[in-house]
Amino acid sequence: MRWLLRSKIHKATVTGKNLNYVGSIGIDKTLTEKVGLWPGERVLVVDNTNGVRLETYVIEEKRDSRKIIMYGAASRLIKKGDEVIIMGFELTDNPISPKNILVDKNNKFVKFL
């Protein structure tokens, strides 16, 4: 069995943060549906702005809100305005075709990669 990339939101912009929350990343529901991420799913978040990498879990934000929000302790590492890549993985014995998307600076879907 191998861990393979299954989902990726590329070049998203963090729109907010809230330290006083249990912890997670909020992602516009439109984007989670395009790449197949589920609420509660573990994701790797890579910050292109400062190089930080962390794991957290998904919370869906309102559809078409274009929100990417860092919650809890992660909001100390990844700030509003930072560019991030959000990735979900799958443990499998078989090759898979990942769903990777590119978004613009306003977190609007641009295209599948």
Residues annotated within the binding site for substrate are 56, 72-74
Among the options 57, 65, 71, 97, which is catalytic?
Answer: 57
65: annotated active-site residue = no
**Residue that is written with structure tokens 């249990």 in the block:** 22
Among the options 24, 65, 75, 97, which is catalytic?
Answer: 24
Number of Cβ within 10 Å of residue 32's Cβ equals 24
57: annotated active-site residue = yes
Burial class (CB in 10 A: 0-12, 13-18, 19+), 78: buried
Instruction: List, as residue ranges, the binding site.
Output: 56, 72-74
DSSP state of 63: T
Looking at this protein, which amino acid is placed at residue 16?
G
Catalytic site residues?
24, 57
